Structure 1
Amino acid sequence: GVSNRPGSRFGPRAVRGIERIGPYHHVLDCAPAYDLRAADIGDVPFASRYRLEQCHENIEAAITKIVAAGVIPVSVGGDHSITHPILKAVGAREPVGLIHIDAHCDTGGPFDQSKFHHGGPMRNAVLDGVLDPTRTVQIGIRGPSEYLWEFSYESGMTVIHAEEISGMGIPAIIEKARRIVGDGPTYL
Structure 2
Amino acid sequence: MKETKLNQPASALNSPRFCNTGTFMRLPRLETTEGLDFAIIGVPFDTASSFRTGSRFGPSAIRSISALIKPNNVNLQVNVLENLNGADYGDINIVPGYIEPTFQNIENGLQEIVDAGVIPIIFGGDHSISLPNLRAIAKKHGPVALVHFDSHADINEEVFGQRHNHGTPFRRAVEEGLIDPNHTIQIGMRGSLYDPNEHKIAEEELGFRLIPAHKVREMGFEALIQEIKQRVGDKKVFLTFDIDFVDPAYAPGTGTPEVGGFTSYETLTVIRALKDLNFVGCDIVEVAPQYDPTEMTAFMAANVGFEFISMLALHKKLEK
* Common fold by TM > 0.5: yes
Q: Does 1:50 align with 2:101?
A: no
1:98 paired residue number: 146
- Classify 1:33/1:15 alpha carbon distance in 2 versus 1 (closer, same or farther; 3 Å): farther
Aligned residue in 2 for 1:63: 110
The total of aligned residue pairs comes to: 187
Question: Deviation at 1:76?
Answer: 0.9
1:36 corresponds to 2:87:
no
Relative distance call for 1:78 and 1:186 in structure 2 (3 A) is: same
TM superposition shift of 1:147: 3.7
- After TM superposition, give the deviation of residue 106 of structure 1 in Å: 0.5
Matched, 1:174 2:222: no
Counterpart CA distance in 2 for 1:66 and 1:7 is 26
**1:121-142 C-alpha deviation (Å, 9 max, x unpaired):** 0000000001111111000111
- Greater Rg over alpha carbons, structure: 2
SS in 2 for 1:130: coil
Question: In the alignment, is the contact (CA less than 8 A) between 2:127 and 2:166 conserved in 1?
Answer: yes
Match among 181, 188, 194 for residue 133 of structure 1: 181
CA distance in 2, matches of 1:72, 1:17: 22
Kept in 2: contact 1:94–1:130 (CA 8 A): yes
Q: What is the distance in 1 between the residues matched to 2:234 and 2:145? A: 9
**C-alpha distance 8-36 of structure 1, shift in aligned 2 (>3 A):** farther
Task: Give 1:65 shift.
Answer: 1.3
Q: Which amino acid aligns with 1:16?
A: R
- Corresponding position of 1:148: 198
Structure 1 residue 150 displacement after superposition? 4.3
RMSD over equivalenced CA pairs, Å = 1.8
Which deviates more, 82-91 or 8-17? 8-17
Structure 1 contact 23–33 (Cα < 8 Å) conserved = no
CA contact (8 A) 1:134 1:155 kept: no
For residue 95 of structure 1, what is the amino acid of its counterpart? Answer: P
Match among 227, 236, 241 for residue 185 of structure 1: 236
- Alignment partner of 1:161 out of 212, 225, 244: 212
Structure 1: stretches of 5+ with no match in the other structure: none
Q: Given the two structures, how large is their TM-score scaled by the length of structure 1?
A: 0.91
- The structure whose residues are more often helix, as a share, is 1
> How far has the Cα of 1:94 moved from its partner?
1.1
- Paired residue secondary structure (1:76): strand
AA aligned to 1:103 is S
Contact 1:109 1:115 in 2 (8 A): yes
What is the Cα deviation at residue 33 of structure 1?
5.5
Worse overlay, 32-41 or 63-72:
32-41
The CA deviation at 1:144 is 3.2
* CA distance in 2 between partners of 1:28 and 1:15 (Å): 22
1:37 & 1:15 partners in 2: Cα distance? 20
User: CA, structure 1 residues 123+187, in 2 after alignment: closer, same or farther (shift >3 Å)?
Assistant: same
Mean CA deviation greater in 10-19 or 30-39? 30-39
